[in-house]
């Protein structure tokens, strides 16, 4: 079934145009969930510059920036950032799926796929994420992937003109000692 066909791959500079188009289309609709960005974030040129920065961070082992593919179409992004090694071996998860592709399980499957990358490719043992208290769709995505809420950070993120509380989520990937 086409809707089941979700994959992820490392972001490429030539993804810029489609990512900019998604971001521009959903700018208002996602303002409650995504931080405000400068105007050039919504242009292909701005996305190209940003992707080059993300790939530099990937080369330094700090980030794993992926796109979500629905079939062969770029539908969103899923990213492991703030990768810490040594005694922590953990990463922070962020994701979005363009509104044209939501409600078909793509985010849930993409998060499952990147958890496998975190465990098997990056050797991490812990994934973390934050959601706004009222971002129920995102919370469903995390719960479906075995995340548990472990606390609330008050007045934690500034979105759409106000500070908001957030739920902190965790998912353990393995219990092996640091290598
Ligand atoms: C949150 C987001 C990633 C979900 O993407 P998606 O591809 O639609 O997600 P899925 O289809 O895999 O799953 C969504 C789940 O949320 C549920 N859902 C959707 N809207 C909901 C709502 N208003 N209230 C409660 N649940 C809701 C769906 O039923 C589904 O749950 P189910 O699989 O148990 O039926 C997408 O809407 C998005 O990018 N939003 C804006 C950015 C964002 O919020 N990013 C995450 C920041 S923490």
Q: Of all protein residues, whose CA lies closest to atom 19 belonging to ligand 1? A: 137
Q: Of all protein residues, whose CA lies closest to atom 44 belonging to ligand 1? A: 33
As beta bridge partners, residue 18 has none
- What's the whole-model pTM score? 0.96
Q: In what order do the strands lie in the sheet with 148-159?
A: 6-10, 64-70, 73-84, 90-97, 126-132, 162-172, 148-159
Domains of the chain: 2-172 (3.40.630.30)
One digit per residue, pLDDT tens: the chain, 179 residues? 344 699 999 999 999 999 999 999 999 999 999 999 999 999 999 999 999 999 999 999 999 999 999 999 999 999 999 999 999 999 999 999 999 999 999 999 999 999 999 999 999 999 999 999 999 999 999 999 999 999 999 999 999 999 999 999 999 998 766 66
Q: How far is the CA of 16 from the centre of ligand 1 (A)?
A: 24
d(CA 15, CA 67): 8
DSSP letter, residue 177 = P
């Amino acid at each position: 079934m086409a809707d089941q066909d979700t994959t992820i791959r490392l972001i490429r500079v030539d993804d810029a145009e489609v990512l900019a188009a998604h971001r521009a289309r959903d700018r208002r609709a996602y303002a409650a969930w995504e931080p405000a960005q400068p105007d050039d974030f919504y242009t292909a040129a701005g996305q190209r510059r940003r992707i080059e920065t993300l790939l530099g961070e990937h080369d330094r082992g700090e980030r794993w920036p992926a796109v979500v593919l629905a079939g062969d179409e770029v539908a969103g992004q899923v990213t492991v950032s703030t990768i810490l090694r040594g005694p922590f071996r953990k990463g922070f998860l962020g994701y979005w799926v363009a509104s044209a592709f939501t409600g078909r399980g793509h985010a849930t499957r993409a998060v499952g796929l990147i958890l496998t990358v975190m465990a098997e490719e990056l050797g991490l043992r812990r994934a973390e994420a934050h959601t706004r208290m009222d971002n129920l769709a995102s919370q469903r995505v995390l719960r479906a992937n075995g995340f548990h809420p472990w606390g609330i950070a008050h007045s934690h993120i500034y979105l759409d003109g106000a500070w908001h509380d957030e739920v902190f989520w965790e998912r353990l990937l393995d219990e092996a000692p640091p290598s």
